[in-house]
Amino acid sequence: MNGYGNIGRRLATMFSADKEIQFIGVAKYTADKKTRDALDSKFDVYVPKSNLKQFTDSNYEVSGTLEEAIKQSDIIVDAAKEGCGFDNKKRLYEPMKKAAIFQGGEDRSGSRSVANMIHNSRVNYEKASGKMYVIQGSCNVSGMGRIMQPLAEKFGDEIERYDVTIVRRWADLEDSKEMRDSVEWDRNPHHQKDVKDFMPTANLFVEAYRVPSRMMHVHQMLIRFKTKAPSKDTVIEVLSKQFGVAILNSAKGSADVRRKALMLGFQHGDTNMVHIHQEVLRDQDDVLKILYTDDQTGMVIPENHLLLQSMVFRRPKVEAIKKTDTLFQISRRKRILEQEFE
Ligand SMILES: NC(=O)c1ccc[n+]([C@@H]2O[C@H](COP(=O)([O-])OP(=O)(O)OC[C@H]3O[C@@H](n4cnc5c(N)ncnc54)[C@H](OP(=O)(O)O)[C@@H]3O)[C@@H](O)[C@H]2O)c1
């Protein structure tokens, strides 16, 4: 696991629990207290050769260099801070002929592109089979695919366009960075292009705003149909059958869902899902309005686990979902959340 930040530490917890995988360890770059957290979690910690002194001076027990860890690995899950994945690929993975999964903060196109596909397990799991380099879509992009694909399959050409407004959290629970009292807009939300990478025919428009909250993302999705929008019951029936989509009825805001996950003792306080807020799902003339919350830190963790099964084990999707569900207990936790927010 190259990187041990908000996403890397969650990925490390899950991948190290999978008995089928020999988990080599995590890479740290800064000798800070998160190194102690990694060691306390019984992970072997590897550091870049050039940073070794920093760690030994701080008395952290390091297992070796990053370069040595990569040499031992068949695949690297890169959880680097945004934009570092490209340099890691060029400096380490490509010369050492190692496969890698990159996270959603990396570029899919342009001169710093790290891979030629973005994975969304609901849409293109099979396409990742045996590939060397794949990007796991970001939390928002993962959530959008999970909602849009089943609707596209059910209603096909009847759908005219999707308009999505993403309300993004400012920081994650663990972040110490200050939140500015401001609602900020995004000049060029990457989510639109990213989703169209795996759903190229979707007529999709995305706007994104950042708000001073730590409690999940909220998506307002408006879907315009050629004629009348389907009924609420029909839509709920389709979405309720989806893996990692919970149908809730009584949450008042994103914090209710996050606090519930913490209270129920879910690992890292994550639900690892999207949550449809049924009480505000509306159909009006030709428009369907869906409001859902997207667990910013948790969404991509089972997605990475599925992606690895496609890339490394070339496992059929049904079996991979079964395995990921056993490890993450997604279906069980979905039922619990649905009961809690009945
Ligand atoms: N946070 C979310 O909710 C979220 C959701 C979905 C996707 N993502 C994506 O996941 C990726 C990681 O995000 P994050 O929130 O986990 O970031 P983060 O908390 O800022 O952590 C970034 C980590 O990268 C490490 N690092 C620094 N230089 C590196 C390098 N050259 N190679 C590898 N790692 C390096 C840092 O190590 P040190 O601490 O040792 O300096 C740190 O542990 C990004 O692409 C992001 O867009 C994030």
Q: What is the DSSP string of 35-74?
A: HHHHHHTT--EEE-GGGHHHHHHTT----EEHHHHHHH-S
Question: What's the rounded Cα separation, in Å, for the pair 200 and 207?
Answer: 18
pLDDT tens digits for range 74-94: 999 999 999 999 999 999 999
- pLDDT for 132 equals 98
pLDDT tens column, 131-184: 999 999 999 999 999 999 999 999 999 999 999 999 999 999 999 889 999 999
Q: How many whole angstroms from 228 Cα to the centroid of ligand 1?
A: 44
- Chain centre to alpha carbon of residue 220: 18
Whole-number Å distance between alpha carbons of 77 and 6: 14
Among 1, 2, 4, 7, say which to mutate for ligand 1: greatest number of ligand atoms within 8 Å of CB: 7
- The answer to whether the CB of 4 is under 6 A from ligand 1 is yes
Amino acid 135: pLDDT: 98
Q: CA 112, CA 305: separation in Å to the nearest integer?
A: 25
pLDDT score of 214 more than 90: yes
The residue among 328, 222, 340, 183 whose CA lies nearest residue 267 is 328
Whether pLDDT at 65 is above 90: yes
Q: What is the pLDDT of residues 92-122, one digit of tens each?
A: 999 999 999 999 999 999 999 999 999 999 9
pLDDT tens, position by position, 244-300: 999 999 999 999 999 999 999 999 999 999 999 999 999 999 999 999 999 999 999
d(CA 13, CA 6): 11
Other Cβ atoms less than 10 A from the Cβ of 9: the count is: 21
pLDDT for the residue 230: 98
DSSP-derived secondary structure for 193-253: HHHHHHSTT--EEEEEEEES--S-EEEEEEEEESSSPPPHHHHHHHHHTSTTEEEESS--S
Tokens of 9: 């530490």
Q: Find out whether the beta carbon of 81 lies less than 6 Å from any atom of ligand 1.
A: yes
Confidence of residue 306 (pLDDT cuts 50, 70, 90): very high
Ligand 1 pocket, residue 104 CB under 6 Å: yes
Residue position matching structure tokens 């890698």: 100
- Among residues of the chain, what percentage have pLDDT more than 70? 100
pTM of the entire predicted model = 0.97
Query: Is any atom of ligand 1 closer than 6 Å to the C-beta of 79?
Result: yes
The CB of 21 under 6 Å from ligand 1? The reply is: no
Query: Which atom from ligand 1 is nearest to the alpha carbon of 103?
Result: 45
How do beta strands 274-277 and 204-211 pair? unpaired
Mean pLDDT of 171-199: 95
Indicate whether 4 pLDDT > 90: yes
Mutate to test the pocket of ligand 1, among 81, 92, 217 (most ligand atoms within 8 A of CB): 81
State which ligand 1 atom lies nearest to the alpha carbon of 4. 43
| Three-class SS state of 14 | helix
Sign of CA dihedral 153, 309, 266, 81: negative
The residue whose CA has the least distance to atom 22 of ligand 1 is 81
| Residue with CA at minimum distance from ligand 1 atom 36 | 3
Which pLDDT does position 177 carry in this prediction?
Answer: 86
Rounded distance between C-alpha atoms, residue 73 and residue 92, angstroms: 12
Whether the CB of 26 sits within 6 Å of ligand 1: no
Per DSSP, the three-state class of 26 is strand
Residue 234 near residue 264, CB atoms below 8 Å = no
Q: What is the pLDDT of residue 295?
A: 97
**Amino acid present at 122:** R
Closest Cα to atom 32, ligand 1: which residue?
A: 80
Q: In whole angstroms, what is the distance from residue 241 CA to residue 264 CA? A: 23
Instruction: Report whether residue 172 contacts ligand 1, using a CB cutoff of 6 Å.
Output: yes
Flag whether pLDDT at 72 surpasses 90.
yes
* Cα atoms found within 13 Å of the Cα of residue 148, Cβ hemisphere only: 32
Task: Identify the residue whose C-alpha is closest to ligand 1 atom 10.
Answer: 103
What integer pLDDT is reported at residue 53 of this predicted model? 95
Contact 93 CB / ligand 1 (< 6 Å): no
C-alpha to C-alpha distance for 342 and 335, rounded to whole angstroms? 10
Extract long-range pairs of 43-50: CB within 8 Å, 24+ residues apart: 43/12, 43/16, 44/69
